[in-house]
Amino acid sequence: DELFTLGSDKPFESAVQHAVSGMIRLLQERYSLSHADAAALTAHVGDIQVCNLVGPQDTAACLISRANLMTFG
């Protein structure tokens, strides 16, 4: 079971940035983490996956296993 956020943009690096920023916001809103804690968790256990590199925009996903949330803190 995982949380995931998507980001779409050109170039791919911008899509990754959007996906990671979305994950940080999600962790702050859903789990009441501070920005620093959400960013640290994402940096340590976040997984970036390529979803699309064809077409007008590239798409990336940022995934975090829910099991990692239970051990954080």
3-state SS string for the chain: CEEEEEEEECCHHHHHHHHHHHHHHHHHHHHCCCHHHHHHHHHHHCEEEEEECCCCCEEEEEEEEHHHHHHCC
pTM, full prediction: 0.92
pLDDT at 72 (0 to 100):
64
pLDDT in tens, 32-57: 999 999 999 999 999 999 999 999 99
Identify the CA nearest to 37 among candidates 68, 3, 2: 68
pLDDT at 69 (0 to 100):
84
Q: Alpha carbon 8 to chain centroid distance?
A: 12
Whether the pLDDT of residue 73 is over 60: the answer is: no
Q: What tokens does 40 get?
A: 């640290």
pLDDT band of residue 4 (cuts 50, 70, 90) is: very high
Whether the pLDDT of residue 30 is over 60: the answer is: yes
